[in-house]
Structures are given as structure tokens and as C-alpha cells.
Amino acid sequence: MSDASVLNESLQEPVVRAPVPTPLQTSHAAAVALLSKIVFAILAVVALAALVMSLALWQKVSGMQEQLARQSADALAQSLEARTLARQAHEVVRDTAARLALAETRVGEVALQRSQLEELMQSLSRSRDENLVVDIEAAVRLALQQAQVTGNVQPLLAALKAGDLRISRAAQPRLAPLQRAMQHDADRLRSSASADNGEALQKLDELIRSVDDLPVLNAVGMRGSGANALQVEPVPVDAPWWQRALLMVRNEARSLLRVGRIERPEAVLLTPDQTFFLRENLKLKLLNARLALLSRQVDTARGELATVSTSINRYFDPASRRVQAAATLVQQLQAQVKTSEPPRVDETLAALATAAAGR
């Protein structure tokens, strides 16, 4: 359809006229207009308030931005300062690590030197201990040999005591077992030591010296108190001269002849030479007993003393005081000489071997 046809149709339609407004409609329009003004005023107030609030918010936001900018600047400055401090701390840590490494190296060197010094001190102490052990062992063995030969344990006890004192002065815990072993052996020797042979040796020497003075059983013409001694009447001092002369002649006459009972013919038949050899044989027997005691041969000593006792009772006058004293000495020696084990210090010798081995 063309534009001309459309225009013709619109011209042919009827024309509608506007209605005439009434008073009610006029008041209503006035109220609407007033309401519209009120609404517009409210909207204007609201817009003004929003504008004021927007301005306030803008100022506040501007203040916050400025504060944030200041804080950001402060944070940046602190960050730069923190970085500087961190760099310095890193450098300090690096220097400290270098110093620590150097200190550890020096500590290691000092520890090595200390260990070497301790080893040196231990070696010196060990050599001193070894010398001490060797000296104590030599002294103990020498005293042990002397005690075994003489039978006197006093030198051995003195050697053990001296070794104990030397170990106490050294103050070495490694030698404590050796010290205890020496103390145990010393206590055992004191408790089990037999009578000292020194007294027995003195009695033997006294007996050897008295052999030459012992009267034999066939010693005729000897004035004494024996069974076969010459009976002599005493001459009174206040007697007249003729009585004294008579008594002297009578005594001389009695000395020409002696009557007695012979119980041991072999003792009476001894010649002066045989008497000399008898005395020398007794001395040899006593010397053999003395050597047997010194060499700890107790059975041999007892046998020699038994032989000496038999010879004294057989060939010498039993009524003489000297013979009786000699027989008493022999009996005392036989009772004193007892069978005993030689002194031993096995515990000390074992401890010395252990200490010398360094265990």
C-alpha cells in the first residue's frame, strides 16, 4: 500500500473532540500537581542529601587514601629498612658462620692436642707404673728368696710393707688390686708365721760353745758333783795343822783308786783322742743342724738334734750341771723346730704379673 492511500484513509476517519474538564477534575489535577511538586522537592532533598553524603564520603575516602598512601610509604620505608637489616643480618650470619667454622676448627685442633697430651701423660704414667711394678717385684722376690733360705719372714714383710707404701704414694687406681694382694699376703704371713729361727740359732751357737766344757763320763780324778766324781773331804780352816795334813794325805790316797758302777762301757773306754773327736763330732752335728735350719730342712735338723741328744746322754756325765743344761737346750731346740711350709706370696706374684702385663 502506498503513502497516498494511507493518507486518504486517515482523512476519512471522524474527528474526535476533547472533553471539557469539570471542577472536580480541576481540583484533582491541582492536587496531582502539588503532589508532584512535593515529590520533586523530596527527591531534590534526597538528591541534595545524597550529594552531601557523597561529598562526605569522598572526603573520607580521600582522607583514607592519603592515610593509606602514608601507611604505604611508611610500609615501603620499613620494608626498605627491613631489607637493609636483613642484608646486614645475613652478612652477620655469614661472618658468624665463618667465625664458627674457624672456632670449630680450632676446637678440633685443641681436642686433638688434648687427646695427644692425654696419651702422652698416660704413656708416662704407664711407664712410671711399670717401673714401680718392676721395682716392687724385684724387692719382693729378693725378700722371698731370703725368707726361704733363712726361714725369717721379717724381710719379706718389710718388702711387702714398703711396696704398699709406694703404691699408696703413687695413687694409681690401676695398682689397687696389687696393693690389696700385698696386704692379704702380709696378713697371712703374720698369722701363719712360725717361731722365729733366730732364737733357735742362738741356742745352737751357745750349745756349740759349751761342748768343750762338758765333762765326759770317764773323766777320772776330776773334782765335781758328778756320779763318778772324786769324793773329797773338806779341810776345816780352824783345825790343827796335823789334822789338816792328815786329811790332805787321806784325800790324795783316795784319788789313787776309784770304785764305781759301769753302765756304759763304751763311754768309759774312750781315750783322750777319742774324746776330742767326740766333741768335734758333736760340733759338726750341731753345725749341720744349724745349716739345716737355715736351708729350711726341718727333718734333717731334727735328726741331727736327736743324734746330739743321744751322744750327750751316752758319753757325758748326766750329773753335771753343764751337761744337764746342754741336754735341756737340745730338748728345747727339738720342741722349737717344727715342720712348716716355706713362706709363699702367690697372690702378690700373680697381681704383679697382671699389673706388668697391663691388664
Which amino acid is residue 69, in one-letter code?
A
Main-chain dihedrals φ then ψ at residue 350, nearest 5 degrees: -65, -40
- Alpha helices per DSSP H over the chain: 3-12, 23-150, 154-170, 176-192, 197-210, 241-255, 265-268, 272-294, 298-315, 321-336, 346-357
How many residues can be counted in the chain? 359
pLDDT in tens, 79-101: 888 888 988 988 999 889 898 98
Q: Are 296 and 151 in contact (CB under 8 A)?
A: yes
Instruction: Give the pLDDT score at 39.
Output: 86
DSSP 237-301: TTS-HHHHHHHHHHHHHHHT------S-HHHHT--HHHHHHHHHHHHHHHHHHHHHHHTT-HHHH
Q: What is the pLDDT of residue 284?
A: 92
Spell out the residues 6+ positions from residue 254 whose beta carbon is closer than 8 angstroms to its own: 230, 231, 232
State the pLDDT at residue 255.
64
**Rounded CA gap, 194 and 91, in Å?**
87
Given this model, what pLDDT does residue 223 score?
Answer: 43
| H or E element, residue 224 | none
Which pLDDT value is given to residue 159? Answer: 86
C-alpha cell at 131: 717401673
Closest CA to 285 of 271, 300, 295, 298: 300
pTM of the model: 0.42
End-to-end CA distance of the chain: 138
Q: Phi/psi of residue 223, each to 5°?
A: -75, 125
Beta bridge partners of 316: 216
Given a cut of 70, the residues of the chain with pLDDT beneath it are 1-25, 122-129, 150-151, 191-198, 219-237, 253-270, 296, 338-342, 358-359
What pLDDT, on the 0 to 100 scale, is given for residue 131? Answer: 77
**CA 357/CA 178 separation, integer angstroms:** 13
